[in-house]
Structure formats: C-alpha cells, structure tokens
Amino acid sequence: MPIFKPIQESEAEGKVKEIYDEIKKVRKITAVPNFWKNIANDPKELERTWSSLNEIMKKGVLDPATKELIYVAVSITNGCEYCIKSHSLAAKKKGATEEMLKEMFSVVALANKNNKLVDSYQVEVDEIYK
C-alpha cells in the first residue's frame, strides 16, 4: 500500500486534472500511471516533476532512447523496481532495442564492479584526470 491514497483521475481537479490530461496526450496512453497519481497528493511536486521530466527527457543532443537508457542505468544502481520497469518500457517505446538494453545492463554491472575496485584499492586520481 502506498503512503497516501493515489488521486484517481475521477477525483482530479484544477492543475492536477490539467497535468493528467497532458500526460495522457503526450504519452499517448489512456490511463495515468501510478507514479503521477501518487505524487498528485502534492500538486506542486507533481507540477515540478512533470515539467522538469518533459524538459530533460525530450530530444536534445542526446536522443530520447539514449536518455531513457541512462535513466534506467541510474535506477538499476539505486535498485528502484518501479523506475526500472516503467523506464525500460519507455526506452523501448522510444526506439531502444532489447539488444541495447542488454548492452546497457552489462555496462551498469561493470561500472558498479569497477567503482568498488577503485574504493577497495583506494586508487589515487592520476594527474591527467585532474
């Protein structure tokens, strides 16, 4: 059970309803996902989060699929099940193939391993990296 009762679409009003409509339109989906229905308990956080997500995840010098892969890589490192599942799906919708996901998984595993080897041996930063 979530900490707060999710705000259902039928209960949404004002700014929350507006954002719910936008989410469904932009994402081309027919139901608002739980993430948004939970944080709608705090309408300002909903607004901040939706607006920054749109701004950051849209096409830039990196394409949307690459951005989603990076998002999933972070979510794996943090062990966030909801985030891994929802953004893996988003990555695929935006053009990432299953092969891309699997290659990303191996990079994430390797980076986590090597990050810890650096901590184990207490490796000092080389002059050229400073």
Binding to a copy of itself (CB under 8 A) within 45-74 occurs at 45, 48-49, 52-53, 55-57, 60-62, 66-67, 69-71, 73-74
- As a residue count, the chain comes to 130
Q: In the complex, what is the shortest distance from the CB of residue 109 to a copy of itself, in angstroms, rounded to a whole number? A: 5
- Give the nearer residue to a copy of itself in terms of CB position, either 28 or 81: 81
Q: What burial letters (b/e) apply to 5-16, b meaning 16+ CB within 10 Å? A: ebbebeebeeeb
- Among 11, 18, 22, 89, which residue sits at the site for a copy of itself (rule: CB under 8 A)? 89
Q: How far apart are CA 73 and CA 68, in angstroms?
A: 9
**At closest approach, how far in Å is the CB of 14 from a copy of itself?**
17
- Does residue 102 belong to the site contacting a copy of itself (CB under 8 A)? yes
d(CA 65, CA 69): 6
Q: Which burial class, exposed, middle or buried, applies to 32 when counting CB atoms under 10 A from its CB (0-12, 13-18, 19+)?
A: buried
Give the number of residues in contact with a copy of itself, rule: CB under 8 A: 79
Asked if 111 interacts with a copy of itself (CB under 8 A), we say yes
Binder of a copy of itself out of 18, 26, 33, 95 (CB under 8 A): 33
Answer yes or no whether residue 15 interacts with a copy of itself by CB under 8 A: no
Q: How many Å apart are CA 56 and CA 16, to the nearest integer?
A: 21
What minimum distance in Å lies between the beta carbon of 20 and a copy of itself?
A: 14
Residue with tokens 């009762």: 5
